Structure 1
Amino acid sequence: MSATPRDPRNARSAEQGGHGNIGLAGLIVGAIGVVFGDIGTSPLYTIREAFSPHYGLVANHDTVLGLLSLVFWSLMLVVTLKYVTIIMRADNEGEGGIMALMALAQRTMPSGSKSTYLVGILGVFGASLFFGDGVITPAISVLSAIEGLEVVAPQLHSWIVPLTVLVLVALFATQRFGTARVGRVFGPITGLWFLVLAVLGVVNILHEPEVLKAINPYWAVQFFINHSWHGIFILGAVVLAVTGGEAIYTDMGHFGARPIRYAWYFFVLPSLMLNYLGQGALVLEDPTAIRNPFYIGVPEWGRIPMIVLATAATVIASQAVITGGFSVARQAMQLGYIPRMQIKHTSSEAIGQIYIPAINWSMMVIVVALVLGFQTSSALATAYGISVSMTMLIDTLLLAIVARALWPSWRRFVLPLCLLFLVFDIAFVIANGAKVLQGGWFPVLLGVVLFTLLRTWRRGRTLLSEELRKIGIPLVDFLPSLMLAPPVRVPGTAIFLTSDNSVVPQALMHNLKHNKVLHETNVFLTVEILAVPYSHRRLLVESLGDGFHKVRVRFGFMETPDVPLALMQACDQSDLVFDPMETTYFASRETVVARARRGMPVWRDRLFAVMLRNAAPATGFFRIPGNRLVELGAQIEI
């Protein structure tokens, strides 16, 4: 049921997530530490929020069992069946996430078609919404963990927000050092967290084993019968239990599908469900426990250690969101949806461990602002869920496209299931839509702003390329005319970076105009970012005669482009020889001028101009040495 055939070596690498020869057990432990941090901290606030006053639920027998049944079947159908069992099979050469799924769906359609464009819109909008809810995860998780201090000592209430901000600022400030060393302890700590969740759940269930009946879907149906049509709005709280399901799919490339599935089926899901049932048992026994059933269910002697463990678990969950943000940002950069940014590698062993300063500090500002603005995890819960439920809806639509095109033997089973998933997704969207005025507007607004930025950058780059093509001279006409009256040739190799190798690069025209010389060897270099994670054919070299060559260097969207290193490989595939000390790179740096009634609205043209001006230069992004670089400017109207 794999979406695309893969080279066995790449499949093995993808299955191990780039962790070399680490065994299955090691990958399972690593997956527990990184992949399930978001969904694993949901018990801190899900049941409590379901009984918050604005839902109007009374903690009686039928309501508690109905709520627990909704949580159980949401975990089973949305996370277990949809994401872990089915959608994780839609891997883009081992990589997951909505951007990878979008690229996979687009590969099933004609290039440049309207359907390809619409799928791109869906994917980018879903990624924007996912980020919008993703920045809430660190805020609500750490805040809900530290709020346990109120249960132990109510007089410490005024310290909760300052301590939360301190923990979050420290977390973001340490990102530049990398997560290689810290990551080794993530698995054991999160494993201990899930083990404690299970033990607490069992202890509380033993007091009220009646809650085990909640596994029967009858109680979920009865809940809607008892609460009529407005019962659907409780799904706005139930969705808190499944937030993190999309993140499981996003992190698939780090560890592979099999370790994640084993960890979920046999450890994470049972631990979560036991704890939810245990909280329900506590509420049945003592209805006043609804004010914070998670911490009240912990023995008094263990509450301080539990706050420490919960804070550690939420920091790890936040770490997973932050590093996931770095990975998604790099994918978006490679696919041409956001400007190039500085990327720092924090590990010499694992290429996936990166640090993007601009993303890191932007996320920190937003997360701290959320804590200071909402003050409590209950207030943040009203903002949580709307964006991620819309992302889940888009995932289902993209899954249906992939299944229909690439899974002929399975689509008769998967497509009907997609209809079932759509029912759940639409219900979650409707339920969370009711929270828009209470705080749900924030992630939606953030998602719309990000979507506008991504689409403006993509469209602006297209318009810029079209303008350059209009004013450019076709290469096929230029070279013969150049050789009729050749300029002075100087030793060495000149590499001209161009996005369109069918026209003469602006840098070459400026060099001829001002310096009136031509190098002995001239290379028209185009860097291509493919819609697959890894490129299996790095270089394409074409000789044009008279010392001119076309070279295409291809990278996958999960790779870090290194042009000089890739060009060294060309020596083995052609007669080209790249001596680093005899090679000069030429690049043009365009300045955009906005004009009315052309391309995009003027405000988007100006926005694109600002983004282009602040983008990291392509030369730095492609690791071209600055001491071998000549940049020439050009002014372009769009």
Structure 2
Amino acid sequence: MGLGLAALGIVFGDIGTSPLYTLKTVLDTVGRADAPTVLGILSLLVWTLVVVTTLKYVTVAMSIDNHGEGGILALMALVGGKARKRPVIVAIGLFGAALIYGDGAVTPAISVLSALEGLNMVAPSFQPWVLPAAVAILVALFVIQPFGTATIGKAFGPVMALWFLALAAMGIGGILHHPAVLAALDPRYGLAFLVSGGLKAFLILGGVFLCVTGAEALYADMGHFGSRPIRLSWVAVVFPCLVINYAGQAAMVLEQGQVDGNIFYRLCPGPLLVPLVILATLATIIASQAIITGAFSMTRQAIRLGWMPRLMVTQTSAEGYGQIYVGAVNWLLMLVTLGLALAFRKSDSLASAYGIAVSLTMLMTTVLLFIAMREIWRWSVPVAGAVAGCFLVVDLAFFTSNLVKLLDGGYVPLLLAALVYGVMWVWHRGTRAVSARLNENTVAVGDFTAQAVARRTPRVPGTAVFLTRTATDVPPSLVWHVEHNKALHENIVVLTVETGHVPYVAEAEHLAIDEIAPNFWRARAQYGFMEHPDIPVLLREAAQHGCDLGLDDATYYVGHATIMHRDDGKGLPRWQEAVYAALERNASHVGDVLRLPADRTVELGRQVFI
């Protein structure tokens, strides 16, 4: 129950604030409030929540986890190592993850604006202040990120619990005025609306889709709480409260016969309007915080999997592993979010830019789920195809209807996703090219030791740890060190750090170390993509593997590559090399990422032509 309450504050903020603008957006598009239309739209909202959120994500997706972790990147890592067409799977997973960044920029802007627009109903004179107030709240939200949210985060659950109770109470009040609205729970009303409305009714699905824009977060945040608390919160609290509120809004429209104004706030009694605006603003801030935290977590996963440049990840709380801060992502998200708020100015305008990125992400998740059904669950093609096919039809319908928004602002999150995907793709290609070039210059261990003996290379006391990307032989950095310093430490450890396709690696499997020549050790450190590497702490365990070298005072040697363009026509295109070089120059230092002691770390520079 405690974890379920916490999940209310972290997981359900986005989908929980959708009633602020979803039905209003759909009815503004339709422009009429007759019973068949309103009941048809309500039926579509309810059954979209059932099929997409309850069946696809809560039931199926959350049953396919990568050692407890969820989300499209964790799913990609899970099935990518088991399926044959890995490049295709990786491309699907990465672009789906990139799309979430686009959604992460739109969500805070549309949520905060939609909450503050309730002030227009308190007094029309507040209207000029809605946008400035939204900008101020958004700036404050991003500015407090470096301090962490551990303290205020404890209040997220109770605040969201109060929010969902308010949704239900308002919805019940509306339903009591027009109980016949409950007939829309019958899916035939939604189907009849789609069939009779033709193409225009189909295009309305783009607005209906807004009710499930936070569903992907349920799967992505599974690692923080586990599946049971999230499922409990959804079934017992969130889903019924959302359905009741949408039904109450629809009942209000049927009773009053108009679609003008803010339908959500019309449900609220006048004396309680100001407290509701305050509660809605708090709920949207919490929803925005969840999106920002999710962007940080996904960035860490992408970095550890080798798909993003090294960025400084700061742990802001000792209590929760998910409490992290990534400065570069925070400030870029802030700039884009503020730009969207200032450009679109109103929540109903921003709705045109919302949904297309999330619908495409959900479509890609369905493809990966089908592969997981076949590869992980070993389902037959007909069974997996039937289940995934149903989800695919729904996802395609929503994505196709959202394409109408493309020129009205839908291109914004797609453009952001394309930029993020481009960075991922170029970084990975550049990293592989650098590794290939370095592996061309390795020297066999036997040859290296023979040369050291032949040249009578002096050995100095102490231990040197060379960090390298090469998995075999002697790395170029060690060869370069001996050639220029004319000396060699008494004990040499060559260490390669790898990231697996699982979130966590058993502690006993973190380090493997072998003596491949007298006083020459080859070590391999392996971490999961959700772990923080700490090499000095890890090497203290070397004695348990037979390597008692006194590594507490070791000197660490880290290579620093200056990227150059190779002119033999075998390298990367010049623009890719230039982009990768810029990313490499601005990436965090390897020593900081691996927590190497600064006073015992030596950087070896070299040019690498790719």
TM-score by length of 1: 0.93
For residues 314-339 of structure 1, the C-alpha deviation after alignment (integer angstroms, 9 at most, x for no partner) is 00000101111110000000000111
SS at 2:353 equivalent: coil
Q: What pairs up with 1:126-525 in 2 under 5 angstroms?
A: 126-408=96-378, 413-525=383-495
- Are the counterparts in 1 of residues 513 and 547 from structure 2 also a CA contact under 8 Å? no
Task: Return the letter of the residue paired with 1:557.
Answer: F
Report the CA distance shift for 1:500/1:286 in structure 2 as closer, same or farther (over 3 A). same
Instruction: Give, in angstroms, the shift of residue 367 of structure 1.
Output: 0.7
Task: Return the letter of the residue paired with 2:556.
Answer: Y
Partners of 1:474 and 1:442 lie apart in 2 by 52
Partners of 1:463 and 1:476 lie apart in 2 by 27
For residues 573-625 of structure 1, the C-alpha deviation after alignment (integer angstroms, 9 at most, x for no partner) is 223333423x1001110011134644432111100110001000111100001
Equivalent residue for 1:594, pick from 550, 553, 565: 565
1:561 has 2:533 as partner: yes
Aligned counterpart, 1:615: 587
Of residues 597-606 and 28-37 in structure 1, the stretch that sits farther from structure 2 once superposed is 597-606
Partners of 1:289 and 1:47 lie apart in 2 by 10
Instruction: Give, in angstroms, the shift of residue 631 of structure 1.
Output: 0.4
Aligned counterpart, 1:627: 599
Task: Return the letter of the residue paired with 2:598.
Answer: G
For residues 34-76 of structure 1, the C-alpha deviation after alignment (integer angstroms, 9 at most, x for no partner) is 1000100000000000022xx3341110000000011011100
Q: Which runs of 5+ in 2 are unaligned?
A: none
Aligned counterpart, 2:57: 83
For residues 443-482 of structure 1, the C-alpha deviation after alignment (integer angstroms, 9 at most, x for no partner) is 0111111111100001110011111112333445333433
Flag as ranges the 4+ runs of structure 1 deviating above 6 A. none
Aligned counterpart, 2:550: 578
Aligned counterpart, 1:542: 514
TM-score by length of 2: 0.97
Task: Return the letter of the residue paired with 1:38.
Answer: D
Partners of 1:297 and 1:326 lie apart in 2 by 36
- Are the counterparts in 2 of residues 404 and 415 from structure 1 also a CA contact under 8 Å? no
Instruction: Give, in angstroms, the shift of residue 560 of structure 1.
Output: 0.7
For residues 189-236 of structure 1, the C-alpha deviation after alignment (integer angstroms, 9 at most, x for no partner) is 000000100110011001011110111011111101221123111011
Of residues 499-508 and 83-92 in structure 1, the stretch that sits farther from structure 2 once superposed is 499-508
Instruction: Give, in angstroms, the shift of residue 496 of structure 1.
Output: 0.4
SS at 2:154 equivalent: helix
Task: Return the letter of the residue paired with 2:541.
Answer: Q
In angstroms, what is the RMSD of aligned CA positions? 1.4
For residues 366-414 of structure 1, the C-alpha deviation after alignment (integer angstroms, 9 at most, x for no partner) is 1111111110111110000001100000000000001101113687654
- Are the counterparts in 1 of residues 22 and 211 from structure 2 also a CA contact under 8 Å? yes
Aligned counterpart, 1:48: 24
Partners of 2:60 and 2:384 lie apart in 1 by 8
- Are the counterparts in 1 of residues 561 and 607 from structure 2 also a CA contact under 8 Å? yes
Partners of 1:438 and 1:567 lie apart in 2 by 55
Of residues 441-450 and 592-601 in structure 1, the stretch that sits farther from structure 2 once superposed is 592-601
Partners of 1:30 and 1:214 lie apart in 2 by 32
- Are the counterparts in 1 of residues 464 and 492 from structure 2 also a CA contact under 8 Å? yes
Instruction: Give, in angstroms, the shift of residue 506 of structure 1.
Output: 2.6
- Are the counterparts in 2 of residues 57 and 63 from structure 1 also a CA contact under 8 Å? no
Task: Return the letter of the residue paired with 2:17.
Answer: T
Q: Which runs of 5+ in 1 are unaligned?
A: 1-24
Provide the identity percentage.
45
Aligned counterpart, 1:97: 71
For residues 415-442 of structure 1, the C-alpha deviation after alignment (integer angstroms, 9 at most, x for no partner) is 3111000001101111000100000010
For residues 545-566 of structure 1, the C-alpha deviation after alignment (integer angstroms, 9 at most, x for no partner) is 2210001011100001111111
Partners of 2:451 and 2:462 lie apart in 1 by 22
- Are the counterparts in 1 of residues 27 and 259 from structure 2 also a CA contact under 8 Å? no
Partners of 1:550 and 1:254 lie apart in 2 by 35
The number of aligned residues is: 607
Instruction: Give, in angstroms, the shift of residue 85 of structure 1.
Output: 0.6
- Are the counterparts in 1 of residues 305 and 501 from structure 2 also a CA contact under 8 Å? yes
Task: Return the letter of the residue paired with 1:632.
Answer: L
